[in-house]
Amino acid sequence: MTTTLEYRRRQYRIIFEIFWYRNPRVYIKDVASLLQADPSATSRRMREAVEEGYIAGPQVRKRSFLNLSEYVCLVNSMRPVKSFKKLMKDMDITYHAMMNGFANLWITSNKRIDIKGEVVVEGLRSDYHVSFPPNHSWDTAVRKIQEKIKAFNPEDHESKGIIKTHWNETVPWDSQDETLFREFKYNLRKRVTPIMREHHISGEKLYKWLGRLSECCTITTCYYPEKFSSYDSFLYMFETDYEDFIIDLFSELPTSSFFFKVSDKLFLYAQVAGRLVKLIDARDTGIGQLQIPLLMEDLLEREIIKSESHTNIESYWGKAL
């Protein structure tokens, strides 16, 4: 028998797929038709999905054009808590996180910043690539990743150029474009009329901006089957000659993952089930215990990656900048 929670989660998944495949600003009545529900119930379900952490977005992030570029710095600060608190007030910082691992601060900013500490890696960020999470279990994901690693042949690898950069290109972007980006950054489904009124932006300008949005920005909608708070957040850093293969591998995870590059390093920001990254019960010898670390070790032994480092996200702060 299907429980109420299972039924709701199926609906959340459908809503996510509608945002992903159809239109992130799809009308509620069209979502209701696909859910075979009335519009008011559909509106509540869509709101629940976001508020409870099953869906994040739709959101927008700037692509790596010269006039939109962001700078990333991963650093080990002597006093990370003090630095984290101080960075909250810095209006050049768009996002920062306090972590436990190869670095203790992850900083994304509109320009290069000076910060005390040991810099692990820094540079311009590439475009983001966001995975579409398959509708399967963690055990199935691990099995599929293991199979792909076992079958990998470096001689057959062809680069697909999944991650893009536009560091030497510019796009038209004025002050109103920037205002609209900041309004829609964390919620692309905002109502347009209040925004137009508050900022004195014409409908023509706003809809033109929405029409060319995918050229300038990455539109992201993320899905977390058991809701975001159920997972551990990790940032992985790889050195590899086979970045597209690594992206393909970890796109098997059933939660949305962010991939990007800084300098010559490939990064994966992933939400992972705790049982896959730590030994919870030494008596449990089944699939699940330490599976992610074991996969990383296999990749190292087969020389698919040259190095791997990771860090656990403890706290983060993002601004509508």
**With 0-12 CB in 10 A as exposed, 13-18 as middle and 19+ as buried, what is 186?**
middle
What pLDDT does 281 receive?
A: 59
How much is the pTM? 0.93
Mean pLDDT of the chain: 92
Whether 163 has a pLDDT exceeding 90, the answer reads yes
Whether 135 has a pLDDT exceeding 70, the answer reads yes
Nearest-angstrom CA–CA distance, 253 and 21:
19
Model confidence pLDDT, tens digit, residues 8-18: 899 999 999 99
What pLDDT does 209 receive?
A: 97
What pLDDT does 36 receive?
A: 87
Whether 288 has a pLDDT exceeding 60, the answer reads no
Q: Where does the pLDDT of residue 83 fall: very low under 50, low under 70, confident under 90, or very high at 90 and above?
A: very high
Q: Where does the pLDDT of residue 1 fall: very low under 50, low under 70, confident under 90, or very high at 90 and above?
A: very low
Query: Strands (DSSP E) along 27-117, which ranges?
Result: 55-62, 71-76, 93-101, 105-109
Q: Where does the pLDDT of residue 4 fall: very low under 50, low under 70, confident under 90, or very high at 90 and above?
A: confident
Other Cβ atoms closer than 10 A to 4: 7
Q: Percent of the chain at pLDDT above 90? A: 84
What pLDDT does 285 receive?
A: 53
What pLDDT does 280 receive?
A: 57
Nearest-angstrom CA–CA distance, 291 and 195:
47
Average pLDDT rounded to a whole number, residues 216-220:
96
Residues 6+ apart with CB under 8 A from 240: 246, 266, 304, 305, 306
According to DSSP, the residues that pair with 95 across neighbouring strands are 108, 318
Mean pLDDT is lowest, of 179-183, 184-188, 218-222, 317-321, for 317-321
Strand 93-101 and strand 265-272: pairing? unpaired
What pLDDT does 284 receive?
A: 53
Whether 44 has a pLDDT exceeding 80, the answer reads yes
Model confidence pLDDT, tens digit, residues 88-124: 999 999 999 999 999 999 999 999 888 889 999 999 9
What pLDDT does 175 receive?
A: 96
